[in-house]
Amino acid sequence: MSSPFDHQPDHELGAALRAALDAGDNHAFVQRVTAAGGSQLAEPSGVWWGVLGPWARPGMAAALALIAAMGFWLGNRSLRGGVAAELDDPIQAAGGLLEVPALLAGQTAPDMDVVLGVALGR
């Protein structure tokens, strides 16, 4: 009889446990699992998804972060682009010395002739 302190397998207890745990008929089980495994292998996604699957969640998160960053960058860029367009406005650029502030502060759109006159420095 083995002692519980043994560092060798206890064959007596092992055999009793084996007899108690053995379900028997491994053949039917093997058939069932092999069939299920075969259909898993037959799926086109079976093998590659096994490799790529673990990357899916971090990949999706990275893609979303990238899209968010791109959206933020593009938004900023267009905003700055709008300001630049205002600064490049020929009326402001040329008329900064004259009546342009008055034109911009008006409640209604200025007359086109006035605008052109200011722009041409007349």
Positions touching another protein (CB under 8 A) are 2, 4-5, 7, 9-23, 26, 29-30, 32-34, 36-38, 40-41, 46-47, 49-51, 53
Is the Cβ of residue 35 or residue 84 nearer to another protein in the bound state? 35
Query: 103 Cβ partners below 8 Å, 6+ apart?
Result: 91, 95, 110, 114, 115, 118
Calculate Rg over the CA atoms of the chain: 40
Is the Cβ of residue 19 or residue 105 nearer to another protein in the bound state? 19
Is the Cβ of residue 30 or residue 56 nearer to another protein in the bound state? 30
- Write down the least CB distance from residue 40 to another protein, Å: 6
- Write down the least CB distance from residue 35 to another protein, Å: 9
Residues 56, 60, 62, 63: is their CA dihedral positive or negative? positive
- Write down the least CB distance from residue 57 to another protein, Å: 15
Residue 80's nearest CA partner among 92, 69, 68, 72 is: 72
Residues 104, 109, 111: CA angle, nearest 5 degrees: 105
Is the Cβ of residue 31 or residue 76 nearer to another protein in the bound state? 31
